[in-house]
Structure 1
Amino acid sequence: MFKIMLIEDDITLFGEIRERLSQWSYEVYGITNFGKVLQEFTEVKPDLVVIDIQLPQFDGFHWCRILRAHSNVPIIFLSSRDHPSDMVMSMQLGADDFIQKPFHFEVLIAKIQATLRRVYNYSTERTELKTWRGAAIEFVKNTVTNNQGAALLTKNEMLILKILVERKDRIVDREEMIKSLWDNEHFVSDNTLTVNVNRLRKKLEPLGLEAFIETKVGQGYMATEEAAE
């Protein structure tokens, strides 16, 4: 049974969402103190977070940054604001999806199911190690390790690396990558992919691997390989 943390200050909406999700056998947890979201998140250890943008004390973007600094848990944003920039910001912060209020509960459930399937089925199916330029890529733990250290990646960062490494030395089209990463690709700006690739490069920098994720202007990205010494 998956545990879902719902960070929503509208008590009525929270109750409705919790009831619907419970019908699908999800365990739903709320927040008792909106100033201690990280503490409650750490105690619950949810499998997925659904978070509103407009919250008391700090907004959802703030808490997404905090959660991303501590966890790779999938995050779905909710927003009552009709601003495309909100979706762009959420994706740039590492969120997995975005739903605008008001929404049909069937849409929310479908997106939660799709995200859980993409994240956790991916992890269980990819238990083997892959190697790239002398580094070990462990899909279950979302880690890249070599003799210079280890990097912990988010789900999207690992998916980007997976796509590139499985087709190393070949250019992967930007549009193809966006479609593989986000369900709402029509609303995701091209810059969002750039931000995520740059974040991946920064994570790989301590391992000396950042330069081997190459940008092919006007085309896409390529992970380069070299013969083992």
Structure 2
Amino acid sequence: MKLLKTPTIDWPSKFAQRLLLAQHPALKSFYQQTLPNADTPMDEIEFIALDFETTGLDPKKDDIITIGLVPFTLNRVFINRAKHWTVRPRKQLKEESVVIHGITHNDVLDAPDLSEIIEEVLEAIQGHILVVHYRRIEREFLDRALRTRFDEGIEFPVVDTMQIETAIQAKWAGGFWNRLKGIKPQSVRLGKSRLRYNLPAYTPHHALTDAIATAELLQAQIAYHYDTKQAVRDFWL
């Protein structure tokens, strides 16, 4: 089953180009790492699920406050290798975001700036395809954060479980008769999507918990709707 159009980005070539332009040592190291080939079957890849909690939703006005990641394959989530960081944002914490994720000023007061841990973060994700739920957050926030601190952004391939679920729901609700019956695509929020695969409900808005939840969601999506031997080129963006 194939619900996504094949993206046109050749990520290994993109990384080779970015390596020639990179200035910061951590970014040079990041782009030097070999990515899986576009033809690699999904079940042969070790992914990393990544999630951020932020001060808001606008990367131009907001900043990262926590980072969670966990390596996984289609058969296993490696909890013992999971990582979580709290960082001190350069933007003010907003009351509405504190209510959502529960991270207060006291929690970030003594936390390091992202620049102090970025080498550790990039080392953890380099050479991997990242899996996220709504790629705009992780892509745009990390790119903006690095531009703010180092005058240099970052690009990386992602598999977006929200994008996959959107395509699945569009197919499920598509067709003349479904429209006639008023059937509409269901919510593609992380928690709602997980429920459709009988995955357990986790407390949301914790970066590491949401990373684990995203990893499990991709496992379920592939198991239910795709061939595990399907090439990663059909999924990465």
TM score, norm. by length of structure 2: 0.29
The structure whose RCO (Cα within 8 Å, separation 6+) is larger is 2
Q: Which has the higher strand share?
A: 1
TM score, norm. by length of structure 1: 0.29
